[in-house]
């Protein structure tokens, strides 16, 4: 198979805000035609990284190139090759969807003909044809996000940057947006996105980088990251009265030969094990011996949330808040 070419090359990039590092020593490459995700919690440095790549922010250290052009020295060239959908939308409530796109077409110096042709195409792609001539203030959160994406695609970019494309959207809208991203990939467009949704990174991207506190903690295709953990996960929930005895239980388990790693969580323990048939009885036995009654025990193959915990030492968020509908 031919080696895929490199679309983006990030080399030891750092960014300080007022003397505080938002990202440090970041290095990774994005391959042409892939969907690449930066996965991380709030404040991890995802938007900062994206803004450097789209030339909106200058890195404090390191270099990055987009399609061979340096993001600082050749910023103009970079801008002509990319599309960007920001995390915070910049939609004017009083303009219609079509007016937004027409205005942008002027900004990009598209000919009237080219502009109209592309706008018709894009409105179809994001199923906004029916709403195109109504003011954006009448759009739902999902529709606004679809318009954002159409705006990002208007310049016909080789690379599309999406900052949290489905943040706060309902399940239906999220699935539709995943669908568009997959369509873009089949058209050969490279997609770089950020997300703090594990399922989004897992299902959508070819490769992902886990970013936490400004550092990349792991990088690879989701399946490789999962199998790379080695071992399955036993998840133990203890009653609230026994929470104080979770630490001694963790220490006792760490000494057992078929146990690879033990991490505590608010409700109990996640235990990475080599052979579950040996581990399960031993875990229950230890819990009994240490008077730490188990309320619930579950066993599963590694998932992306386990990968995240293994590499960062914490969950991406404490619990999963229900998707909020945005105004
Ligand atoms: N303009 C700024 N001035 C000062 N600090 C900033 C600025 N922008 C971001 N930061 C800080 O840099 C860090 C990384 O922020 P960034 O927006 O890149 O994170 P993020 O991963 O995109 O988070 P989120 O998921 O909340 O969007 C945070 O600690 C943030 O407070
Ligand atoms: Mg962000």
**CATH number for the domain including 259?**
3.30.70.920
Q: Beta-carbon neighbour count of residue 185 at 10 Å?
A: 17
Q: Is residue 319 part of a domain?
A: no
Residue located nearest, by CA, to atom 5 of ligand 1: 17
Helices (H), 29-74: 46-53
Q: Summarize pLDDT for 228-257 with one digit per residue, the tens.
A: 988 899 999 998 888 889 999 999 999 898
Boundary residue ending a domain (222, 244, 274): 222
**Mutation probe of ligand 1 site: the residue of 20, 48, 51 with most atoms within 8 A of C-beta:** 48
What is the tally of structural domains in the chain? 2
Shared domain check, 265 and 200: no
Angle (CA) 206 121 156, round 5°:
55
Residue located nearest, by CA, to atom 14 of ligand 1: 45
Q: Summarize pLDDT for 177-234 with one digit per residue, the tens.
A: 999 999 999 999 999 999 999 999 999 999 999 999 999 999 999 999 999 988 899 9
| pTM (two decimals) | 0.89
- Are 9 and 71 spatial neighbours (Cβ–Cβ below 8 Å)? no
Boundary residue ending a domain (196, 222, 248): 222
Q: What confidence tier does 321 reach under pLDDT thresholds 50, 70, 90?
A: very low
What is the CB < 6 Å shell around ligand 1? 17-18, 22, 40, 42-48, 87, 196
Distance 186 CA to ligand 2 centre (A): 27
Q: Quick check: 288 pLDDT over 70?
A: yes
Shared domain check, 275 and 135: no
Distance 72 CA to ligand 2 centre (A): 21
Provide the CA 188 distance to its chain's centre, in angstroms: 20
Shared domain check, 256 and 111: no
Instruction: Give residue 318's pLDDT.
Output: 67
Q: Is residue 310 part of a domain?
A: no
Residue 298: phi and psi, rounded to 5, are -140, 150
Q: Is residue 281 part of a domain?
A: yes
Question: Regarding predicted confidence, which is higher, 206 or 88?
Answer: 206
Shared domain check, 210 and 65: yes
Q: Is residue 1 part of a domain?
A: no
DSSP for residue 260: E
| CATH number of domain containing 51 | 3.40.50.300
Residue located nearest, by CA, to atom 26 of ligand 1: 42
Shared domain check, 82 and 154: yes
Shared domain check, 67 and 117: yes
Distance 232 CA to ligand 2 centre (A): 32
Instruction: Give residue 178's pLDDT.
Output: 95
Shared domain check, 286 and 160: no
Ligand nearest to the CA of 15: 1
- Are 173 and 141 spatial neighbours (Cβ–Cβ below 8 Å)? yes
Q: Beta-carbon neighbour count of residue 268 at 10 Å?
A: 23
38 Cα nearest atom in ligand 1:
21
- Which CA distances in Å does 288 have to 159, 238, 262, 282, 283? 56, 11, 17, 10, 9
Distance 58 CA to ligand 1 centre (A): 14
Pairing state of beta strands 82-85 and 159-163? Answer: parallel
Q: Which structural domain range is residue 34 located in? A: 6-222
Q: Is residue 327 part of a domain?
A: no
15 Cα nearest atom in ligand 1:
12
**Mutation probe of ligand 1 site: the residue of 43, 212, 312, 316 with most atoms within 8 A of C-beta:** 43
Q: Is residue 318 part of a domain?
A: no
Helices (H), 154-221: 171-186, 198-204
Distance 180 CA to ligand 2 centre (A): 21
What is the residue-averaged pLDDT of the chain? 91
Average pLDDT over residues 43-65: 97
Boundary residue ending a domain (202, 222, 242): 222
């Amino acid at each position: 198979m031919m080696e895929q070419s490199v679309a983006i090359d990030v080399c030891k990039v750092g960014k300080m805000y007022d003397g505080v590092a938002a990202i440090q020593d970041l290095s990774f490459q994005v391959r042409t035609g892939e969907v690449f995700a930066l996965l991380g919690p709030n404040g991890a440095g995802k938007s900062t990284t994206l803004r450097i790549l789209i030339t909106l922010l200058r890195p404090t250290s390191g270099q990055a190139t987009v399609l061979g052009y340096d993001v600082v020295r050749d910023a103009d060239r970079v801008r002509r090759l990319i599309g960007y959908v920001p995390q915070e939308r910049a939609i004017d409530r009083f303009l219609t969807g079509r007016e937004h796109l027409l205005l942008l077409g002027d900004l990009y110096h598209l000919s009237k003909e080219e502009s109209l042709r592309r706008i018709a195409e894009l409105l179809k792609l994001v199923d906004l044809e029916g709403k195109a001539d109504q003011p954006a203030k009448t759009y739902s959160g999902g529709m606004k996000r679809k318009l954002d994406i159409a705006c990002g695609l208007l310049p016909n970019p080789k690379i599309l940057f999406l900052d949290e494309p489905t943040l706060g959207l309902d399940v239906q809208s999220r699935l539709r947006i995943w669908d568009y991203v997959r369509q873009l990939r089949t058209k050969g467009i490279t997609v770089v996105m950020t997300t703090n949704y594990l399922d989004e990174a897992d299902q959508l991207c070819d490769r992902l980088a886990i970013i936490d506190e400004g550092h990349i903690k792991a990088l690879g295709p989701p399946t490789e990251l999962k199998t790379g953990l080695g071992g399955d996960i036993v998840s133990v929930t203890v009653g609230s009265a026994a929470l104080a005895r979770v630490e001694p239980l963790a220490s006792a388990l760490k000494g057992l030969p078929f146990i690879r790693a033990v991490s505590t969580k608010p409700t109990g323990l996640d235990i990475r094990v080599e052979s579950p048939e040996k581990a399960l009885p031993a875990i229950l036995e230890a819990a009994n011996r240490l008077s730490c009654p188990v309320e619930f025990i579950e066993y599963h193959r590694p998932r992306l949330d386990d990968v995240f915990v293994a590499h960062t030492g914490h969950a991406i968020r404490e619990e999963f808040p229900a998707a909020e509908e945005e105004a």
